[in-house]
Amino acid sequence: MAQPRKVRLTINGSVREASVEPRRLLVDFIREELGLTGTHIGCEHGICGACTVLFNGEAVRSCLMFAVQANGAEVTTVEGLAQGNELHPLQQAFWENHALQCGFCTPGMLIAACDLLRANPSPTEEEIRDGLAAVLCRCTGYQGIVEAVKAAAGKLRS
Amino acid sequence: MKPPPFEYHDPGSVGEAIALVGRYGGEARLLAGGQSLVPLLNFRLANPAALIDLNRIGELSYIREQDGQVRIGAMTRQRAIECSTIVQQRIPLLAEATRMVGHLPTRTRGTIGGSIAHADPAAEYPCVVRALGGTMVVRSAGGERGIDAAQFFQGFMSTAIGAGEMLDEVRLPVAERGAGWAFEEFSLRRGDFALAGIAAMVVADDERCISARIAACAVGEIPLRLEQVESILRESALSVRTVDEAAKCAAEQVRPEGDIHATADYRRHLVRVLVRRAVTRAAERSRAIGR
């Protein structure tokens, strides 16, 4: 077994430090060591997108990275979106547009949508669908999700 | 834990990385963006003694134009390539193909060098490199050498990178003046592996086709350059009939295998359709640029 290494990162604004084995996946580290279970684990091989987090501001699949690679990085998970009791505009729009049923994919959807809207504040419907193709939803049929992202884009622009 | 145990190294320079590659012989794997290697580790299909993580090596990430080529560092992220004005203006085929490489969150991490060294036959970058006649620069303790795309891809996920070497840079010729381009692929869902893909670069005026470069992915063990198809198109008027003849020839040239996603025949059919679309779109672009 390889020697554990120290990881120090900023997650949702707070600095955390831990010692991890190099093969520890970032998503497992976030859930098990840091106790942030909002990020979900679906396929664990980079297909479903449930584990998507923001890594230095950009969306990545946290099941395809090792925790040691996050040393010095800034990570945002779904827990970091709301401001106190106030939902993030995307979360509010998901609620209002029935963009979730079982909710399993929602953390990944929200984070992927954050990155999409940061890179492209006024996406067309096709660009939204393209951007969110990285996350699989098995309940909604995506229509509500697309509507929610459209609504949130409008709110974030104003 | 899903991945098997491994020793982990994160060198800060290419020199250090090469020393580690040499030290482990063939027992270590280089970790670039990890979008293909980490799934293999999670499935335990790969079981290397060590991972040499290249992500701290800043000197491997760049896009610059020099001597009629665009030179791209092996660790340049696909997302950086997608957003690069140099790539958009000088090798637009690469920019277009990049939008089909995985998804936005995988392009954030995925790199050009990782994709090319992994040499998945369905991948877009090896196909573009083959179509454009790119050069892969590999480095070892003894120095560097360039490998032409025609020699680089040797078999299913197998390349000409030798023991003790690592991919350092990818060089692609700047698109010739007036060239039109198109990358067409078909996959079951957006961002999935292509069932077939075609890269095309065509120079055409209103009368005839001056040059054509065509390559195919996902229909053979390695990306295939379709030279016979190119010669049918060259000097032709690019009539609907000629383009269809070329597309038919392409379908005969490729060597697809059937799997659970598509039969070999269906893939051949896709090649015919995609060549027609790619050549038509590339030629239209070329004519529009020339006007």
Whole-complex ipTM: 0.95
- Position A158 scores a pLDDT of 87
CB contact under 8 A, B109 and A25: no
* Chain B partners within 8 Å of A4 (Cβ): none
Q: With residue A28 as reference, give the H or E element that holds it.
A: helix A26-28
Other C-beta atoms lying within 10 Å of the C-beta of residue B235 = 12
Q: Are B81 and B112 in contact (CB under 8 A)?
A: yes
The structure tokens listed for B180 are 């039109």
| Average pLDDT of the segment spanning B98-103 | 96
CA-CA distance, B260 to B227, in Å (whole number)?
A: 30
B73 in helix, strand or coil? strand
Say yes or no: A21 contacts chain B, CB-CB below 8 A. Answer: yes
- State the smallest CA–CA distance between residue A45 and chain B in angstroms: 5
Sheet-wide strand order for B143-148: B63-66, B69-73, B166-173, B135-140, B143-148
Encode pLDDT of B101-158 as tens digits: 999 999 999 999 999 999 999 999 999 999 999 999 999 999 999 999 999 999 999 9
Per residue of chain A (158 residues), what is the pLDDT tens digit?
Answer: 678 999 999 999 999 999 999 999 999 999 999 999 999 999 999 999 999 999 999 999 999 999 999 999 999 999 999 999 999 999 999 999 999 999 999 999 999 999 999 999 999 999 999 999 999 999 999 999 999 999 999 999 98
Q: Decide if pLDDT at B1 tops 80.
A: no
Q: With both helix axes pointing from N to C terminus, report the angle between A106-119 and A125-132 in degrees, rounded to the nearest 10.
A: 130
B160-193 tens-digit pLDDT: 999 999 999 999 999 999 999 999 999 998 888 9
How many residues appear in chain B?
A: 291
Mean of all residue pLDDT scores within chain B: 97
A107 contacts in chain B (CB < 8 Å): none
**What is the C-alpha separation between B276 and B272, in angstroms, rounded?**
6
Contact between A132 and A149 under an 8 Å Cβ cutoff? The reply is: yes
Average pLDDT over residues B33-39: 97
Instruction: Give pLDDT, residue A1.
Output: 63
Chain A residues near residue B42 by CB distance under 8 angstroms: 25, 44-45, 63
Note the pTM of the prediction, 2 decimals: 0.96
pLDDT band at B257 (very low <50, low <70, confident <90, very high): very high
By the CB < 8 Å criterion, does B4 face chain A?
yes
A112, two tokens? 């992927």
- Please judge whether B38 and A46 are an interchain contact, meaning their C-beta atoms are less than 8 angstroms apart: yes
Q: In chain B, which ranges are continuous DSSP H helix?
A: 14-24, 37-42, 78-83, 85-90, 92-98, 104-109, 112-118, 124-132, 149-152, 227-233, 240-253, 264-290
User: A74 CB near a chain B CB, below 8 Å?
Assistant: no
Instruction: Kindly give the pairing relationship between strand B143-148 and strand B135-140.
Output: antiparallel
Smallest Cα distance from A23 to chain B, Å: 6
User: Does B53 reach chain A within 8 Å, measured CB to CB?
Assistant: yes
Per-residue model confidence as pLDDT tens digits over B209-249: 999 999 999 999 999 999 999 999 999 999 999 999 999 99
* Closest-CA residue to B199 (of B289, B263, B267, B282): B282
- Flag whether residue B58 sits within 8 Å of chain A, measured between CB atoms: no
DSSP 8-state symbol, B224: E
Which residues 193-212 of B are in CB contact (within 8 Å) with A? Answer: none
Residues B130-140 pLDDT 10s:
999 999 999 99
B120 touches chain A (CB under 8 A): no
What kind and span of H or E run contains A144?
helix A143-157
User: In the structure encoding, which two tokens stand for residue B54, read together?
Assistant: 């290249």
pLDDT at B51: 98
